[in-house]
Homo-oligomer: A and B are copies of this chain.
Amino acid sequence: MARAGLTTERLTQAGAELADEVGFDQVTVSALARRFDVKVASLYSHLKNSQDLKTRIALLALEEMADRAADALAGRAGKDALTALANVYRDYAREHPGRYAAAQLRLDPQTAAASAGVRHAQMTRAILRGYDLTEPDQTHAVRLLGSVFHGYVSLELGGGFSHSAPDTQETWTRSLDALDALLRNWPAP
């Protein structure tokens, strides 16, 4: 009987692809086994359980996004950097909706602290070096930026914006303009 050559990595990768195709919450150990033309139980030598699979996909997505973000930020500063980072998230979500949804999975604190999530926070903070903010406003701004990026991408992806009126691309551009203006002119407490 020939072996399928399963590994945790291949399963995670395939799980991510599956997520993009059918949606993250349709990702199932069974579906994954089917995709490898293998019996379900076989996967349990490589994955602890279903939650383990989902967590691994989430971590993969966080890594991929962080890598893209690091690339995009190289050599940029100020509004240029802001736009680049924002577009990384938006583009990633459009290319990989299932992975993006996975990245939203609630991780336990241990796992979260060891994930690429911290790189994301660092990069957002790095952007703010191009603006004139000191603590604690810098942290407030990091959180606000994170909220806008995630909120916008999530609403746009979920069809939360009416498909009429101005183009969502236009809104995105104008929102980034607005954020840039806001950061350059952050109100005093």
Q: How far does the Cβ of A69 sit from chain B's closest Cβ, in whole Å?
A: 16
If the complex has contacts A109-B159, A148-B151, A161-B143, are A178 and B186 also in contact, measured as CB distance less than 8 A?
yes
Copies in the complex: 2
From B106, B174, B177, B181, A159 is in contact (CB under 8 Å) with B106
A136 close to B (CB within 8 Å): yes
Q: Are B158 and A106 in contact (CB under 8 A)?
A: yes
Interface size class of A (residues with CB under 8 A): 35 or more
Q: How far does the Cβ of A166 sit from chain B's closest Cβ, in whole Å?
A: 4
List residues 132-189 of chain A with CB under 8 A from any CB of chain B: 136-137, 139-140, 143-144, 146-152, 154-155, 158-162, 165-166, 168, 170-171, 174-175, 177-178, 180-182, 185-187, 189
